[in-house]
């Protein structure tokens, strides 16, 4: 077993950490303006104008079976779909609102179809649910709200009742966790109770756990699905820490106790979560794969986002990015699934990242820059039984221990300190035809 113990939490995180790689899906009305999922508030779009999207939402090519197949082919083991994002629009048939997909030309419960399709592919199911709601009449206007600069914003807030909104959320979460079978992840987003208050509008306040009535909300969720993994973004600590849009430098720790925690980085292919037609900062295949490896090499999961377009499909750029993962994962996933951060005694050589199987028996060396001729790994001499490339199981020869190093002529090399525990892997001169090659070291007992 892995020597790492993480902080104990109520949800079932075992399948989750073994899976390592999931698909985030941001989809809603904002896929129509196609200029970021925050478009309503960024552009302070009026209700009337935003209503156009509701009226014309017609994802005629939505086929979540295709999404599920694409996720699976990319090597992803679970998915998290925005059942409701900050705009307040529901992709499910909720009895507590009319602002839902069944009342648009889409005409059906899109969450239901997603659940069925992903489950059929053997993927675990997650629901994202926005705590923020820029449509609900009881959600008080604050500094993030589209109506924040309206002249009558203060008056508009009159009569808005956060208690009612909190109840609305409990009702909807209850629906989501009652009507769709077993749900594995519940991803709330997000709290901002310490957000700066605009000087000219001191009555505005950010929102956090007390506003959401987070204790009751989470109790409601757990009573229905006790095993479920819940993130920390209600401001109430649960199972999952979620660093967003950056790569942590070390395993994420609990702030007070210093314990290691279960964490999941969420990232995008380009600079938006929702479908963005004109955004062009798409990450290269190599960077995407590195982000996955970096994450697992620090004991985390990667939730990589796709923003389907308004017809309900992944566009060619998203498909290409997923295909890059698929191509690499189809031959290298052994270094990702059921793997974690390598034991501290194993040090990654320059330009490499290590992962280790959770049973501790195999060490994986990911070659970010392909070295010339030999790979020197201090600390591993005498500990390796067999070595091979993962993508084709072809043997990688190695020497270690003074005698072998002498016989191989390595003792005569300047600038190489030949300690007894040096392992020297003999690499082919030409980099194998995979974006990032991985060497598997079978460790001696």
Interacting residue ranges for ligand GLC, rule: CB under 6 A: 26, 37-38, 189-190, 244, 266, 273
Kindly state the smallest distance separating residue 286's Cβ from ligand GLC, in Å.
24
139 closest CA partner among 155, 163, 173, 172: 163
Kindly state the smallest distance separating residue 267's Cβ from ligand GLC, in Å.
9
Kindly state the smallest distance separating residue 39's Cβ from ligand GLC, in Å.
11
Q: ω before 190 within 30° of 0 (cis)?
A: yes
Q: How far apart are CA 438 and CA 389, in angstroms?
A: 6
411: DSSP letter: G
* Number of Cβ atoms within 10 Å of the Cβ of 311: 14
Closest CB to ligand GLC among 38 and 389?
38
Closest CB to ligand GLC among 26 and 362?
26
Closest CB to ligand GLC among 110 and 365?
110
Kindly state the smallest distance separating residue 86's Cβ from ligand GLC, in Å.
6
Closest CB to ligand GLC among 38 and 180?
38
106 closest CA partner among 66, 135, 64: 64
Q: Which residues contact 394 (CB under 8 A, 6 or more apart)?
A: 388
Closest CB to ligand GLC among 26 and 40?
26
Kindly state the smallest distance separating residue 401's Cβ from ligand GLC, in Å.
49
The alpha carbon torsion through 359, 387, 19, 258 (nearest 10 deg) reads: 60
C-alpha to C-alpha distances, 76 to 31, 161, 256, 270, 313, nearest whole angstrom: 23, 40, 32, 18, 18
Closest CB to ligand GLC among 26 and 391?
26
Kindly state the smallest distance separating residue 152's Cβ from ligand GLC, in Å.
26
**CA-based angle 350:352:357, to the nearest 5?**
135
242 closest CA partner among 257, 225, 258, 229: 229
Q: How far apart are CA 362 and CA 372, in angstroms?
A: 24
341 closest CA partner among 391, 294, 388: 294
Kindly state the smallest distance separating residue 289's Cβ from ligand GLC, in Å.
21
Closest CB to ligand GLC among 118 and 190?
190
């Amino acid at each position: 077993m892995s020597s790492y113990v993480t902080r104990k939490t109520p949800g079932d995180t075992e399948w989750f950490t073994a899976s390592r790689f999931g698909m985030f899906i941001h989809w809603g009305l904002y896929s129509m303006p196609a200029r970021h999922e925050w478009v309503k508030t960024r552009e302070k779009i009026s209700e009337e104008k935003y209503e156009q999207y509701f009226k014309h939402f017609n994802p005629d090519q939505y086929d979540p079976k295709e999404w599920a197949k694409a996720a699976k082919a990319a090597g992803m083991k679970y998915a998290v779909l925005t059942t409701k994002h900050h705009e307040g629009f529901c992709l499910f048939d909720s009895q507590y609102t009319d602002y839902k997909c069944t009342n648009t030309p889409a005409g059906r419960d899109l969450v239901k179809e997603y659940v069925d399709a992903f489950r059929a592919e053997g993927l675990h199911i997650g629901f994202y649910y926005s705590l923020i709601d820029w449509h609900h009449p009881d959600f008080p206007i604050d500094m993030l709200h589209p109506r924040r600069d309206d002249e009558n914003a203060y008056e508009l807030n009159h009569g808005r009742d956060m208690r009612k909104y909190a109840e609305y959320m409990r009702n909807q979460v209850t629906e989501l966790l009652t009507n769709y079978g077993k749900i594995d992840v519940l991803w709330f987003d997000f709290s901002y109770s310490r957000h700066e208050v605009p000087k000219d509008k001191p009555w505005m306040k950010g929102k956090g756990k007390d506003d959401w009535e987070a204790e009751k909300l989470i109790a409601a969720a757990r009573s229905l699905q006790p095993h479920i993994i819940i993130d920390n973004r209600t401001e109430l600590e649960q199972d999952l820490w979620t660093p967003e849009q950056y790569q942590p430098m070390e395993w994420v720790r609990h702030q007070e106790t210093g314990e290691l925690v279960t964490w999941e980085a969420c990232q995008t292919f380009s600079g938006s979560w929702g479908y963005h037609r004109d955004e062009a900062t798409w990450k290269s295949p190599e960077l995407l794969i590195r982000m996955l490896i970096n994450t697992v090499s620090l004991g985390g999961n990667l939730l990589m986002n796709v923003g389907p377009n308004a017809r309900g499909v992944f566009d060619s750029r998203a498909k290409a990015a997923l295909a890059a993962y698929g191509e690499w994962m189809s031959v290298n996933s052994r270094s990702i699934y059921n793997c974690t951060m390598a034991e501290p005694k194993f040090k990654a050589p320059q330009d490499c990242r290590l992962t280790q199987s959770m049973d501790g028996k195999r060490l994986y060396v990911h070659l970010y820059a392909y070295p010339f001729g030999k790979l020197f790994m201090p600390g591993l001499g005498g500990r390796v039984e067999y070595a091979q490339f993962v993508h084709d199981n072809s043997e990688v020869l190695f020497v270690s221990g003074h005698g072998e190093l002498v016989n191989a002529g390595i003792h005569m090399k300047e600038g190489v300190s030949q300690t007894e525990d040096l392992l020297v892997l003999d690499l082919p001169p030409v980099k194998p035809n995979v974006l990032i090659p991985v060497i598997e070291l079978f460790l001696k007992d």
